[in-house]
Amino acid sequence: MARALRIEFPGALHHAYARGVAKQAIYQSDEDRTTFLAILGTTVERYNWVLHAYCLMGNHYHLLVETPDANLSAGMHYLNGVYAMRYNRAHERVGHLFQGCYGATLVDREEYFLQAACYIVLNPVRAGIVERPSQYPWSSYLGTAEDTGAPRFLSTDDILLCFASNRMAARMLYRKFVEAGIDEETARRLESGEVCGGEEFCARLRELIGGKRDIREIPRRQRFAGRPPIEGIFEGWRDLADRDERIFRAVREYGYSQSAVARHLDLAPPTVSKIVKRAAGDVA
């Protein structure tokens, strides 16, 4: 089956998600969830993301991500790859963790921003895990709805400012908005893996694609301009686990070829390929 079209441009808003292979759990404990959130925080900082909402479910997760640098794909590969590596190491397992590539729906900020944020934090309610989103600790709801100290990597201002300039009033209105829920048609569009937007937004996208300004068409050397030298990436690696993580980053984050990494580390190219695939959860 053909992979869904991925459109990336500066400032794009995405509902991004990834599921466990064969619907299997991707978290076995709260420690796993804490590890994932730590890696998510690193991803947000490293890729200059603006994270508006998130929710960790049993066998999948949801993010509402704004990408000033048009780099959703690179960030998602890093997030899933590093977490899969840590998870497999912690649970002494090998093979797939995530089901294929991540999914993403491009969201029209003008019309669907709040609905997307609402949809994400209502996942545990829709799944019957809890009755109210405030009862679920592994989403961004409490960090947005309460003055309890949101994680540093979570941006709540844009959501709250949609309701009021006073934060207390904004939180109250946000809680009411989430309690009202969203309709099934909006939920379906947010789950589509395509585009959730009005006609004007879709028209702008058609113009963007027709003008061949899709980020994927930018030459590789331009996408990875300013990357660190390969010597710097591998300087001072501590052990094999650290080396393997750096190999994954060199290939997926900085765009070095696997053959270049293999030459630098004096490894066989198939060894590097296996390490990268294992980190991304791509080998059985």
Range of the domain at 193: 12-217
6 within a domain of the structure (yes/no) = no
Predicted TM-score of the model (pTM): 0.75
In this prediction, residue 48 carries a pLDDT of 94
Q: Which long-range contacts (CB under 8 A, 24 or more apart) does 108-112 make?
A: 108/13, 108/195, 108/196, 108/197, 108/198, 108/201, 109/13, 110/198, 110/201, 111/197, 111/198, 111/201, 112/186, 112/189, 112/190, 112/196, 112/197
How many Å apart are CA 273 and CA 234, to the nearest integer?
A: 17
In this prediction, residue 1 carries a pLDDT of 33
E strand segments, the chain? 12-19, 50-56, 60-67, 103-107, 195-196
Is there a single domain that holds both residue 178 and residue 237? no
β-strands 103-107, 195-196: how paired?
Answer: parallel
Count of structural domains within the chain: 2
Backbone phi, then psi, for 139, in 5-degree steps? Answer: -140, 175
Beta bridge partners of 106: 14, 195
Domain boundary among 217, 248, 266: 217
Contacts of residue 230, defined as CB under 8 A and 6 or more positions apart, other chains included, come to 250, 256, 260, 261, 264
How many Å apart are CA 245 and CA 61, to the nearest integer?
A: 22
Is there a single domain that holds both residue 145 and residue 97? yes
In this prediction, residue 2 carries a pLDDT of 38
Is there a single domain that holds both residue 143 and residue 198? yes
- CATH code, domain carrying 152: 3.30.70.1290
Task: Encode pLDDT of 111-158 as tens digits.
Answer: 999 999 999 999 999 999 999 999 999 999 999 999 877 899 999 999
248 within a domain of the structure (yes/no) = yes
Is there a single domain that holds both residue 208 and residue 245? no
The answer to whether the beta carbons of residues 261 and 251 sit under 8 Å apart is yes
In this prediction, residue 171 carries a pLDDT of 96
Q: What percent of the chain has pLDDT over 90?
A: 52
Domain boundary among 217, 239, 256: 217
Contacts of residue 276, defined as CB under 8 A and 6 or more positions apart, other chains included, come to 247, 248, 251, 252, 258, 282
Is there a single domain that holds both residue 247 and residue 116? no
